[in-house]
Amino acid sequence: MNQENNFLVFAGTKSQYLTEEICKYLNCPLGKMKVDRFADGEFAVYYEESIRGKDVYLVQSTFPTADNLLELLLMVDAAKRASAHYIVAVIPYFGWARQDRKDKPRVSIGAKLIADMLCAAGISRLITMDLHADQIQGFFNVPVDHLYASSVFTEYIKDNLSLENLVIATPDVGGTKRANSYAKYFGVPMVICHKSRLKANVVDEMRIIGDVEGKDVLLIDDIVDTAGTITKAANLMMENGAKSVRAIASHAVMSDPATSRIEQSALNEMIFTNSIPYHGGGKNVRILSVAKMFAEAIRRVSSHESISLLYNL
């Protein structure tokens, strides 16, 4: 696939590594764009080639810092002012997604605000992956293609892990629906960890609902931030007689001290996608690429084909 198909793919600064891989699968060149940065931290975006009448796909995950989100907004605005025909924001990791509801008085709903900002900037469509809450799709007034990393994870599990007594587990009640999909797919039991928090990123108490004795446990989550929950759950599984514990999570936010916690935990393996660049290393951390999945989604959207065949859960 090439530019004759009337679309161009551009990369935000912090997602260039993933966009280059996406372009290889699409057999198209990476679009030429430049970000000028000023001494005070301000920056400006401009395209170094004509995008008039083109469908443009702008790839940028909006993980901290907020500069990544602002850069994407400027990319969208510049594309709109350059007369792009169709502007698709490709956001592998949608930041602020944990602020999806008003769960206490006088609190912001960050996910809705970000959706409004992207729509106001001028996006025509959103392609994203494993939103923290499915209802965020309804915050947008444009079509949303919500991809799932499960297609990447299930392939890896089947091809690389020989787990005879597999049990799917969720580190918190909120992830039950996600974990249940994996349990049904593999035809295995599911257990749940029930946790209570004193405050954000601090787990007070956790207990297991279900039996893990002699089992190969696979924990399912969408985001690992400080790794407090996932490592506490893994350690609890081993304390309750599990044979082995592994974990998969779509987005490696990995704020300090996440890397050291994972290395010191009972986890045999921690598996992420490359939706966010992770350079922390760790002998038991593995990164799987979602470039092929996003490339296929872009190809299908550009050719007006269904993307439902990309889902296997």
User: Which residues are catalytic, by number?
Assistant: 195
The b/e string for 105-117 (b: 16+ C-beta within 10 A; e otherwise) is eeeebebbebbee
Token pair recorded at residue 309? 């065949």
Please, are residues 218 and 163 in contact by the beta-carbon 8 Å criterion? yes
Identify the CA nearest to 246 among candidates 277, 275, 221: 221
**Residues near 85 by beta carbon (within 8 Å), at least 6 away in sequence:** 53, 54, 55
Q: Is 202 exposed, middle or buried (0-12, 13-18, 19+ CB in 10 A)?
A: exposed
Strand partners, 41: none
Strand partners, 246: 218, 269
Where are the extended beta strands (E) located within 139-243?
A: 144-147, 166-170, 190-199, 202-209, 216-224
Q: What does the alpha-carbon distance between residue 135 and residue 101 come to, in Å, rounded to a whole number?
A: 10
The b/e string for 213-233 (b: 16+ C-beta within 10 A; e otherwise) is eebbbbbbbbbbbbbbbbbbb
How distant is the alpha carbon of residue 127 from its chain centre?
11
Q: What's the count of helices (H) and strands (E) in the chain, helices before strands?
A: 8, 14
Neighbours of 17 (CB within 10 A): 12
Look at the block and give the residue holding tokens 């280059």.
20
